[in-house]
A and B are shown apart, each in its own frame.
Chain A
């Protein structure tokens, strides 16, 4: 169950059995519960899932930015082969913003309102490369140019409130890419932007990813974004990875009933507008009250007693794809001829 699908790859990031929990007075909430995946060098991994599936917590865990009362409890986060969980805070600071950078969901609130754009980009150069104020500003202008902001010499002295949402996200990208990171974590970078700007930002990220040859961990709940940008996809549900495949397999033959459900809930352009959009029935269980078997069992149309009572492992198949579902195991006690698509055929 542990291990990456393609160990032959030189993985820039490899997460093994990551566990992050939040502790209240007498309760432990397992937000991330044994997540494993890996990102090959220079590739884009999409992490998909509903709200509350642990995507963002996973990404903050990588940078070790989980705040009290949260805690990374166990597992390994191998970045260039070294376990980040064993690093000191000072060593982590050298990695953050330098080797691993992060872009956040909310460009409106993620920039400090009291510093100019140039000061905020320049800070990365000053911290990690020890540049002077003047050199940092010059490089900030270059970064603004790189992310496609017009008249960068003027923008560099402006404050965030003088910029639009799309501009601010470009500034966030400029901050993140300032020091040529090997890994970029983008936590729903386009969710807060309107559709035309979303496409621009995604194109920019793809473009820069190729130019700078970095790995990207792209967190999203939008499968359209996945189709557009990713090489690999990890589907998360309730703090666990339920399916890990290359992008093509995900869209041609999704295996996990949850993944299939996600696919069906995307509106199609040829869909009958009168009909209802398919939904996954029920809602994400509360992390404080997890089902004891497969976490998707209460919402799964194929669930059997086995599913409800025993949690399946994440199994790797011969192609290196991973799946956490009893249907594909030898122990499966339901209909041996089950087809996870049958529901979609009957509903469409």
Chain B
């Protein structure tokens, strides 16, 4: 097991090199002179030269890349053009906000998705199954920024409905912006987690249906095992194998979705940092944030692979 983890970590090295090359190239893929782009139109030549010197753009490309990687490995991602602070400290302050947002959303998505999927699978073709899968399809198709705005309107601002409408009369329960307190966390987590919950629910349903039809489930029943234990122990453990993969991939989607969600809810996370930095042409910060987000994604998928190992004994390590 230990060996497996070590090997799996080593395998991420080529991925990281690839990511660093792509992130590094961003600066050079923008049309025209990067220094000119950063300085903005009509900037004096002096300022452009100054930027070029500061970013080391006069060096040959391989040297620039090596410098970038060497510094990045040591935690130095450059300096923000906008604030003049270290990129790493800019990100550091917001990193945990995004990780928390993505983590809570994943937990919500897995929890809701599994329950809905299992209920649907064990009552297949019933009315409950049809309704749940319809809701899941709806949740899947909703753009999350729109869902975010709707949630803010209904549950943070409140809607003016005639007083005889029950339940929705005074529903401004949660905070529409910021991050930290419970009332601030609820809406963004629902916004971000909904589509993942829907995907996991659908995946769980089909995976469970497949497993429940297997011979070994009949064996368990013939042994006198209680139906709940057949479902939650014998079937779920097998059904989880494809679900875990989906959860890992969803996490990447959540990081992307966090960009929109953080903007809608004015949360100061990495997503909002990327948007702000792109708008301000603050390239070092954009590069640094993407690099960190990629690292996070690679790390989560590493965890998924390890979890996989525990579930599926047939994966050969050696």
Contacts and interface: CB of A to CB of B under 8 A. Distances in A.
Interface stretch (A90-98, A324-332, A335-343): A90-98
B295 to A, nearest CB: 32
A109 to B, nearest CB: 4
A256 B189 CA distance: 72
Interface stretch (A122-130, A132-140, A213-221): A122-130
Contacts of A18: none
Contacts of A175: 219, 223
A114 interface: yes
Interface in A90-108: 93-98, 101-102, 104, 106
B220 A112 contact: yes
A127 B238 contact: no
| Chain A CB within 10 Å, residue with most, of B219, B225, B238 | B219
A172 interface: yes
B215 interface: yes
Interface residues of B, number: 19
A86 interface: no
B47 interface: no
A111 B219 contact: yes
Interface stretch (B108-116, B262-270, B309-317): B309-317
Contacts of A172: 219
Contact of B314 (A112, A113, A123): A113
Given A111-B216, A112-B234, A114-B237, A161 B313 contact: yes
Interface secondary structure of B, over-half rule: helix
Contacts of B313: 113-114, 159, 161
A98 B224 contact: yes
A238 to B, nearest CB: 24
A65 B227 CA distance: 12
Given A127-B223, A127-B225, A104 B218 contact: yes
B214 interface: yes
A110 B219 contact: yes
Interface in A152-168: 159, 161
Interface string B64-76: 0000000000000
A110 B223 contact: no
A63 B219 CA distance: 11
Contacts of B237: 112, 114-115
Interface in B221-268: 221-226, 234, 237-238
B238 to A, nearest CB: 5
B222 A114 contact: no
Contacts of A104: 215, 218-219, 222
Contacts of B220: 112, 123
13 contacts: A95-B224, A102-B222, A104-B218, A109-B214, A109-B215, A112-B234, A113-B238, A113-B314, A114-B312, A115-B237, A124-B223, A127-B223, A159-B313
Interface of B: 214-216, 218-226, 234, 237-238, 311-314
Closest 3 CB pairs of A and B: A97-B223, A96-B224, A97-B224
Interface of A: 63, 65, 93-98, 101-102, 104, 106, 109-115, 123-124, 127-128, 159, 161, 172, 175
